[in-house]
Amino acid sequence: MQDKAPLTAGPGALSGLRVVDLTRVLGGPYCTMILSDHGAEVIKLEPPQGDEVRDWGPPFDENGDASYFVGVNRNKRSVGLDLAKPEGREVLLRLLEGADVLVENFKPGSMEKWGLGFEELLSQRFPRLIHCRVSGFGASGPLGGFPGYDAILQAMVGLMSINGTEDSGPTRLGTPIVDIATGLFSAVAILMALHERQRSGKGQYCDMTLHDCGMALLHPHAANFFLNGKRPVATGNPHPNLAPYAKFATATGEIFVGVGNDPTWRKFCAFLGLDHLARDERFATNGARVVNKPALMAILAERFAPEDGHELCLRMLAAGLPAGPVLGVDQAMAAAHTAHRGMVTEKDGFRALGTPIKLSRTPGGTRAAPPRFGAHTREVLASRGFSEEEIARLAEAGVLVEARRR
C-alpha cells in the first residue's frame, strides 16, 4: 500500500544516464523531468537570463521562482552558461563528453549556426549521443523554423476546434496539453533511441515537434474524419462516439458518467431503475443512443437531479459502472486516493505532483527540489574535470553565469 510519493527511492531505473538539458519553458523541461524522476542525472544549462518561466507568475516561491518553473524542474542541477560566447560552447562540448542524451529546444538552425549541428559535429564527435530537439514545426517544410507555442498549436492542429461547445466556439484546453504531450513523446523517443543503441552502439537524432505531437492527440476525431469525411465539431462534455458519456447535475454537484458498451448500458439502466430504456429501440444500441442523444440526455438529467452525486458515484463504481464527481483541483489534491497513489509529493517545503510511472523494483520520485538559477555551476564543472582556475576564469569572462541577468 502506498500513502505518499517516494522521495529518495533508490537509484531509479535510469540511474547512470547522463542528460545535458538545454531546454526551457515546458515541453523540453517536462521531458527531462520524467527522466530525472527515474534517476537520470540531468544538468540544466540555463542562458544568462535563466529559463524565462522562472518569471511566469504569480505565484512565486520564497526564492522568487514561479510555479510554472517549480512544477517541472525538480531533481535537476542548474548551470548558468552563455552559449553565445565561443568559450561557452566549448564548455558545452566538454560536458557532452560521456553524456548519453542532449535535449534542446532552440529555434531550428541555432545549433547549426553555432557549429554544433548533429550531422556536422555532434554525431562525429560523440557517436553514441542521442540528440533530441523539441521545436514548433521542425526545420523544413512550409512552416519549418517558425516558433511555436502551445495555444498556437492547439489552434493550428485542430484541437481547439473540437474543444468547447457550440456556444463557446473553439476553446483552448485548460492545460498546455501540446507542450506536455511533446514532453511525453520526447521521453519515449529518447528511451527508444537508447534501446536501439544497445544493438547498434550508435546514437541518433530525435526530431520532435509540437505540431506532430499535437496532431497525435486528435483521436477519435481524426479517425472519424478519415471514415466519414465530415469536419469534427466541438461537442462539449459528451463523447462524439458514445452515449451516455457526459456530465450531469445532481443535488450535491456535478458528476460524469460513461457507458462504453451495450452490456454496460443494460447494467446502468438496471442500477438506476430505468430498465425500460434498455428495451427502447431508440436507446438499445450505442449507435442508436448517439443518434438520439438529446432525448436520452433529457431523461438522464431528470433521473440524476435529486441524487447525492458523491454517494451515487461511489455506489456506481462499486457496481462496476464508470462514474465520478466533477472535482476542483484543490479537491482532487486532497482526495484520499490521490494520497494512496502518491500523486502529491513533498520534500523540504517543496510540494508538487508525484510521478505517475510506478515501477515495482526501481520506483521514481522527487529526489531534490527545483534548482535555483546557477546553483550547481561550480559543482558540476568541477565534477567534469574543470580546474578551479578554469572555473574562475570562465566566471570572470561571463561565460559562467551565477546570477541571472535581467
Distance CA 162, CA 173 (A): 10
Is residue 21 flagged as an active site residue? Answer: no
Residues in the chain: 406
Contact 174, 205 (CB under 8 A): no
Of 74, 2, 67, whose CA–CA distance to 37 is shortest? 74
Contact 279, 331 (CB under 8 A): no
3-class DSSP state for residue 4? coil
Q: Which three cell numbers stand for residue 95?
A: 560536458
Distance CA 402, CA 381 (A): 13
Distance CA 32, CA 74 (A): 10
What region, left, alpha or beta, does residue 228 occupy, with left being phi > 0 and alpha being psi -120 to 50 degrees? alpha
Can you count the helices (H) and strands (E) in the chain? 18, 11
Q: Which residues of 94-116 are buried (b: 16+ CB within 10 A; e: fewer)?
A: ebbeebbbbbbbbebebbeebeb
Q: Which residue has the cell 535535449?
A: 103
Distance CA 110, CA 104 (A): 10
| β-bridge mates for residue 258, sequence order | 245
Distance CA 78, CA 75 (A): 10
Report the C-alpha dihedral over residues 309, 311, 317, 322, rounded to 10 degrees: 0
**DSSP structural state of residue 371:** P
**DSSP structural state of residue 81:** B
Catalytic pick among 3, 179, 212, 348 = 179
253-258 vs 323-325, strand pairing mode: antiparallel
Of 16, 190, 20, 19, whose CA–CA distance to 91 is shortest? 20
Catalytic residues: 179
